[in-house]
Amino acid sequence: MRTYILGISAFYHDSAAVILKDGEIIAAAQEERFTRKKHDHAFPHQAIAYCLKEAGISARQLDHVVFYEKPFLKFNRILETYLTTAPLGIRSFLMAIPVWLGQKLWIPDLIRKELNYNGPLYFAEHHESHAASAFFPSPFSRAAILTMDGVGEWATSSIGLGRDNAIELLFEQQFPHSLGLLYSAFTYFTGFKVNSGEYKVMGLAPYGEPRFVQTILEELLDLKEDGSFKLNMKYFNYLGGLTMTGRRFAQLFGGPPRKPEAPLTQREMDLAASVQQVTEEIVLRMARHVKKITGEKKLCLAGGVALNCVANGKLLRSGLFDDLWIQPAAGDAGGALGAALLIHYHYLKNKRQSDEKLDRQKGSYLGPQFSDEQIKTFLRSVGAPFEELAEDQLYEKVAAELAKGKVVGWFQSRMEFGPRALGNRSILGDARHPQMQRIMNLKIKFRESFRPFAPAVLEEEASAWFKIDRPSPYMLLVADVHPEKRLTSDQDMHLKGLERLKINRSQIPAVTHVDYSARLQTVNAQTNPRFYRLLKAFQAKTGCPVLINTSFNVRGEPIVATPQEAYQCFLRTEMDWLAMGRCLLRKEDQPAQHITKARQEAFELD
């Protein structure tokens, strides 16, 4: 008899579903990929349907279903918060409580009704789910665990210990004192969207100077040596208000928050640099404390703050731990996975195997896939001209076009689980091209010019191009470009802010950030043979084993999931080629009316 466990996360952001078969991760996906609503928080009907289909079962064949947090505990925290801030939070209260009373408090009934399921139903704690998602898929038999996010029920970060098939949480920091909410406050204040734009703040930080660090440490928080802290809540508005920061915060930092889409000023860059430096210091202090109380040599990370790959890179280079493993779906989506694994190991007491080298996340390639026949059927149905190539021909042709400076949409195999495109739903470009960063930001992604792009590099070549001594398969570590690949220049001395974008800093300028860093993905033949072979073909033509790899979407949209979405995105942007399976499409060959219609639809959506 097989045992099937369904994990669900929903109702905050990044709703998702995951299914396990005898402890093996069979499928995982975020609801946003199906509904096309970025960070969709609704009940994940379509993600669940996909997971059940991939497992080849109906909901009635599920043995266990688990939700990633405890709604009643969360409701208790929300009520207590409103009571302690009354009457200030009345508007927020009137907006939030009807949703709780009408839906969120009835999650058990909702799950049973939507699934037509009468079997065992469980509720894990939010940070316990994060901790399980960090440790159980990792390659380690034992490790320390650190989770950090905005807030779960009450906890905002936790320290734990994982050994074989069990995890234990040893300490937690509680709301409202939250590293995730501190970072989100600066995300809001610098004009970006909370729970969506935090990575923009991280990308903006190298353009600024950390001149507000002392102000943050002296006014906003009381930071202890063990990494715990208390926020000075008089500067924040998220307890009872509708914004993250208040009037005093604006007075402290020289004026009101930047309005979304307004020009970026040096203040925003300096604020980003400052909060990033404070975040790194808090993470390092927490990690030192974890090391001290557990004595473990390896560390697992999850929670939204674990997506801060700059902090992760500094933590790795600190030498505090011999190795790190970070959950690629570190946010709430990964909570669905952690909750399912908790049932498998804690409740069902199953044994756990680990080999200290390979994780059990399968490269995070856990989403839907489409066969060449399905792709061809779609393309023929819409009258899209394409060429079908043998695999070797495909890699050669795509590599040749990339080497000419062309931009290629790359749609292959199973979709990634988590926020990063890892070579299956990617847009690719030549990292050597000095203008490619600007071209892809403005003409392909339609996003801010300062945003850096990530390099994908052959795993065995990574240490020759970047200062890193281990794989980084999930694009969750930042490392500096190797000194031998850098170009010397004294222009930086005379340039400030976004003007620094004008300098070519290395042999791969399109993926070299202004501080010579890069958020790299290492690619090996075992985990992603197609992407690996394309990188090998590009290396054979150019001598360079590095490509730009950015997610296959445009600003404001989720990563594409289907051939239809990939084709529409291809038509709407200035991409030159689209490779779906073994089918290769050239933009110049596509019917003009298809391109016009796709761009008109995109304009209407905007």
Residue 232 belongs to domain spanning = 179-324
DSSP per residue, 140-179:
-SEEEEEEE-S-SSSEEEEEEEEETTEEEEEEEEETT--H
Q: Which two tokens stand for residue 596?
A: 């016009």
- What is the pLDDT at residue 446? 87
**282 within a domain of the structure (yes/no):** yes
Share of the chain above pLDDT 90, in %: 85
List Cβ neighbours of 24 (8 Å cut-off, separation of 6 or more): 360
Arithmetic mean of pLDDT over the chain:
95
- Using one digit for the tens of pLDDT, what is the confidence trace for 293-319? 999 999 999 999 999 999 999 999 999
Do 303 and 444 belong to one domain?
no
Which of 556, 551, 554, 535 lies closest to 598 in space, CA to CA?
Answer: 554
Task: Decide if pLDDT at 605 tops 70.
Answer: no
Which of 588, 566, 553 lies closest to 411 in space, CA to CA?
Answer: 566
Domain-terminating residue out of 324, 354, 386 = 324
ω before 176 within 30° of 0 (cis)? Answer: yes
SS3 30: strand
- What is the pLDDT at residue 500? 78
Do 185 and 264 belong to one domain?
yes
Name the H helices within 404-479: 436-439, 462-465
Do 339 and 432 belong to one domain?
no
- Is residue 34 a contact partner of residue 53, using CB atoms and an 8 Å limit? no
Domain-terminating residue out of 338, 364, 390 = 364
Cα-based distances in Å from 160 to 5, 106, 230, 315, 319? 24, 30, 21, 17, 19
Domain-terminating residue out of 364, 389, 414 = 364
CATH code, 29: 3.30.420.40
Do 472 and 584 belong to one domain?
yes
Please report where in the chains the tokens 């040599």 appear, as a residue. Answer: 297
- Using one digit for the tens of pLDDT, what is the confidence trace for 495-522? 777 777 778 889 999 999 999 999 999 9
**515 within a domain of the structure (yes/no):** yes
Do 211 and 351 belong to one domain?
no
Do 395 and 268 belong to one domain?
no
- Using one digit for the tens of pLDDT, what is the confidence trace for 251-280? 999 999 999 989 999 999 999 999 999 999
- Using one digit for the tens of pLDDT, what is the confidence trace for 351-399? 998 888 899 999 999 999 999 999 999 999 999 999 999 999 999 999 9
Q: Which two tokens stand for residue 486?
A: 């850098």
Number of domains in the chain: 3
Do 518 and 474 belong to one domain?
yes
Task: Decide if pLDDT at 45 tops 70.
Answer: yes
